[in-house]
Amino acid sequence: MKVQILDTPFDPLESIRLHQEALRELHGSYGATAIFIGTMRDLNEGDSVRCMELEHYPAMTQGHLEKISAEAKEKWDIFDTLIVHRVGKLHPNDPIVLVAAWSAHRAEAFAACRYLIEELKSRAPFWKKETLEEGERWVEHNTPG
């Protein structure tokens, strides 16, 4: 299980490729890789969003994401998980989050991947400040799945 919090841009598919290369001992074992990639939208709550600042408390956020990964591994028959999350200044179309789960079969991989993103969105301590045409605002709540 790997968790990365980055303050620089990342390529989600390259992150998957590099992580799978590191899973050499599992090659041939997993038949499913479920992936979710979240990107920044240019619209939120009916307003045009120019950019967003994503803040976090590093130790607390890392711990929450590691706990979510461990919970997924306990709930489903999966081999591994990956969470990569951006912080800092983001613009529309920038990748914000990548979650992935590896399993022998798709049902477990899909379920674990969905759990990772839903729990991340509801429990992980991130704070979002959007820059709009009219000024700035803190995001009060996440959009529903």
What is the residue extent of each domain of the chain? 2-138
> CATH number of 2-138: 3.20.20.210, 3.90.1170.40, 3.30.110.30, 3.30.360.10?
3.90.1170.40
pLDDT at 122: 92
Residue 145: band (very low, low, confident or very high) from pLDDT cuts 50, 70, 90: low
pLDDT at 10: 98
Copy the structure tokens of residue 71: 């919970």
In contact, 116 and 72? CB cutoff 8 Å = yes
- The pTM score is 0.93
